[in-house]
Amino acid sequence: MNLDVRSLRTFSRLAHSGAEKAAGSLTTLAGIDTYVNVTKVELGTKTDVENEFAERDLVSVNIGFSGGLDGRTILAFSPESAERLVDALVPGMDPTSGDGELAASSLKEVANIMLGGFIDGWADYLDTSIDITTPTYVDEDSGGPLEEVETDGFEHREDERILVFRNQLEAADDAIGFDLYMVPTSQSIGTIVEASGDDGALPVESFAAFSEMICDGANQASDDITAMTGIDTAVEVSRLSFVPIEGVPMSLTDGVRRGVVLEFTGTPSGYIAILFDEPSAENIASSLLPGMEADEAMRQSAIQEIGNIVTSGFLDGWANALETTIEISPPRHVHDIGSAIVDPLATDLAQSQEYAFLIDSTIRTDDDEFTCDIYALPDENELRKALEQLSPAA
């Protein structure tokens, strides 16, 4: 199976269009004005998806599809959003009460309508028919959203690289937020690529190899943080996403972040941001400079230094794997909401590209003493060169 930027653009546009249909269905069904916040095409593993659901305590409704395409769609909610949606559909109903079965039934009916409309868009594009299965409700304490179920027989290996089409939707009043996932089989991805045209496409193994590079870089960065601070850390998630350039800032929360931004040049080139939430920034600065709480300049210098070290660890593995040299600029201290920090980086790349490959990794301690988020935005053309070098045929 091969992939190229044109195929990924097709995937993104179809997923976004389908999500808009799903949002419209919810508006009609429940009277809740809903919009699509951001659409991503993510390359990860089944374990990545399962871990995110466990971390966020998500409940979901799963629907399998087969025919012209095979795979599974998932409508996922936080328990709070599920409760609010059920209350909008059946006022007074509590999905966590004894009427939970009826509440789950309400969510399944909503998902059946929304996901059915979502899949119809793909069927229209491919000029084929796609059948969907009976909805399956999965609460936060049950098996993961990608576990095999009898209704569809859809299954992925734990370490298998998969493409996940992910749409983040929100109600206009922000009372309800949820994610719409589509996880097609590898054969079905090939069907979509063929329909969109695959001139110059690269084997998916190239993307998988780059994804492995990201994981290795994140692990090295984690080791460097541990060596520098003496605090044990681990990589929680590390993934590669393809997202419209204007959607990059929306991929970050609006929480205030502190950290550094750097530019890297070589193959590939681009920007990287090493960001901490404010408590994490305070904790990590204190671990490096105990007793220096009152010296803001020193604390800022400590954050810049660890940002520089983390960036070097993250990118050195790329340079080694690609047998190239990647230079990094001096770190620039930043302190703002996350979207505002990343927005100028995306704006600069937008001068030459419509979509971005967003790399995000999260490193945290077991006790949540601090969390470090790494966001990298490589230049599309330079990344293409890197992927060509990673191609099995290269």
Q: Same domain for 246 and 159?
A: no
Q: Same domain for 109 and 221?
A: no
Whole-prediction pTM? 0.81
Q: Same domain for 217 and 299?
A: yes
Strands (E), the chain: 2-3, 34-45, 59-67, 71-77, 130-132, 136-138, 161-171, 177-184, 202-203, 234-244, 256-265, 270-277, 327-328, 332-337, 355-364, 371-378
Choosing from 196, 230, 264, the residue where a domain stops is 196
Choosing from 196, 217, 238, the residue where a domain stops is 196
Number of continuous H segments (helices) and E segments (strands) in the chain: 10, 16
Q: Same domain for 192 and 88?
A: yes
The pairing of beta strand 332-337 with beta strand 234-244: unpaired
Q: Same domain for 104 and 150?
A: yes
What three-state secondary structure class fits 123?
Answer: helix
What three-state secondary structure class fits 83?
Answer: helix
Q: Same domain for 57 and 187?
A: yes
Question: What 8-state DSSP symbol labels residue 331?
Answer: P
The CATH number of the domain holding residue 259 is 3.40.1550.10
Q: What is the mean pLDDT of residues 152-163?
A: 67
Q: Same domain for 183 and 228?
A: no
The count of structural domains within the chain is 2
Is a pLDDT exceeding 80 seen at residue 133? Answer: yes
Q: Same domain for 63 and 173?
A: yes
Number of residues in the chain: 394
Q: Same domain for 188 and 208?
A: no
Side chain identity at residue 120, one-letter code: D
Residue 216, pLDDT score: 87
Q: Same domain for 227 and 307?
A: yes
Residue 105, pLDDT score: 86
DSSP string, 128-162: S-EEE---EEE-TTSS-TTS--TTT-----TT-EE
pLDDT tens digit sequence for 223-260: 988 888 888 888 877 788 889 898 898 888 778 999 99
Q: What φ, ψ does residue 40 adopt, rounded to 5°? A: -130, 150
Side chain identity at residue 46, one-letter code: K
CA–CA gap between residue 48 and residue 35 (Å, rounded):
26
CA–CA gap between residue 161 and residue 346 (Å, rounded):
27
Q: Which of 79, 78, 54, 65 is nearest to 135 (CA)?
A: 65
Q: What is the mean pLDDT of residues 141-154?
A: 62
Q: What φ, ψ does residue 363 adopt, rounded to 5°? A: -120, 130
Cα 300 off chain centre by = 29
Q: Same domain for 222 and 118?
A: no
CA–CA gap between residue 163 and residue 240 (Å, rounded):
10
Range of the domain at 290: 202-390
Residue 99 pLDDT level (bands cut at 50, 70, 90) = low
Choosing from 180, 196, 212, the residue where a domain stops is 196
Residue 350 pLDDT level (bands cut at 50, 70, 90) = very high
CB neighbours (10 Å) of residue 220? 18
Q: Same domain for 268 and 292?
A: yes
